[in-house]
Amino acid sequence: MPALPSPNLPRIQVKYPTVGLDTQWGTQVQIPLKRTQGVMDYTLNVVLGTPTGGSSPAFAVTKTQPVIQHITVQADNTTVFDVDTPLWDEWNYLTTKGADAGDGLHHTVQMADRHARHGEPFQITLLPTWKFNQVTMIVTLAPFASITTGGATASTGSLLYVTEHAIPRAAINFTPHLVKKLMITTSVANGGDNDLTTFLSQTGAYKALLLFMTTTNPVIGQASFNTGYAGGTNTASDYQQVKLNDLVLDKDTYTVSARSALQALFSVAPDTGYAGFVWMDDDEITKMLNLANTKLVTAVDLNIHQPAAATTYIRALKLEYL
């Protein structure tokens, strides 16, 4: 079967100017990105300063209560990365075999896809920044009150460090595959079948779909963001299906089985609330769920089956090859 080629090219590291955070809590910060190399990933590291005001001010930051709540990367008019950080950090935790557990202070924004079994990035899926007129990262910062305790009202000395890990353009002798990492959201309420017939877009080939289910809607900028991501549930949906053309069951698995499959593949157990599917578990591109041919695939249905009527909020990360 066709496999993704694995060039072994040299890498470089480029740092960006530090970004001050103390006056920007609860806002979106735009970071212009360089357009010279083939980017493998961007690393974001937050160094917290000193909280002030109140009686006993302190920062309270965790994986589900992060400083940065959402990250977007746009290349001209194309959004190539757009995910809540707790959801992305879970995928990063799985693909690094638990080495990068996430702490709400650092994030590795992978532009290149990774081999599911051994974690090495596919260099052929890097982001060719030179092909675009403008590449921008947008980070959404948490409101100050949601990441502090003790009545803190302000901070001093909080900084964001951004580093680019890339391959020199002169060394790239291949045409990269663009892989989008995008979040999809919805909610379901019915007991029994909940057919989501417009949830999965037919724009490319799916390598993986990571589902997170919670009973609290994680709204960016509100307290429910933290409680939503901290309150995942493994029991709201007992099984999920991916059905094609109303007839073909591409996936049909219990939640507990899907979670076990993720643990077997990545060697670490997913956190509570996470399940999903990995179609391409190695480098064989023909394993992916290709939905782009709308003549062959005329309908796609993600069925979220609930044993009882309840409102469940779904956040899904899709890795889609175009």
**Residue 6 pLDDT more than 80?**
no
Instruction: State yes or no: pLDDT of 235 exceeds 80.
Output: yes
Any domain includes 1: no
| Mean pLDDT across 211-240 | 97
Same domain (yes/no): 82, 191: no
Per-residue confidence (pLDDT) for residue 118, from 0 to 100: 87
User: How far apart are alpha carbons 218 and 312 in whole angstroms?
Assistant: 11
pLDDT tens-digit profile of 89-101? 999 999 999 988 8
Residue 130 lies in a domain: yes
Does residue 24 sit in the same domain as residue 157?
Answer: yes
- Tens of pLDDT, residues 135-157: 999 999 999 999 999 999 999 99
Q: Is residue 122 part of a domain?
A: yes
CATH at residue 126: 2.60.120.730
Torsion angle of alpha carbons 172, 85, 43, 66, nearest 10°? 180
Answer whether residue 159 is part of any domain.
yes
Q: For residue 180, how many C-alpha atoms fall within 13 Å in the half-sphere facing its CB? A: 18
What are the backbone dihedrals phi and psi of residue 115, each rounded to the nearest 5 degrees, phi first? -65, 125
Q: Is residue 7 part of a domain?
A: no
Identify the pLDDT of residue 16. 98
* pLDDT at residue 7 greater than cutoff 90: no
**Same domain flag for 39 and 160:** yes
What CATH number should be reported for the domain holding residue 211?
A: 2.60.120.20
Which residue, of 147, 171, 195, is where some domain finishes?
A: 171
Given 118, 149, 171, the domain boundary residue is 171
Supply the range of the domain harboring residue 273: 179-321
- Structural domains in the chain (count): 2
Q: Is the pLDDT of residue 1 over 50?
A: no
pLDDT in tens, 245-255: 998 999 999 99
- Is residue 72 located within the same domain as residue 111? yes
Structure confidence at residue 101 (pLDDT): 85
Torsions phi, psi for 89 (to 5 deg): -60, -30
pLDDT in tens, 104-124: 999 999 999 999 998 899 999
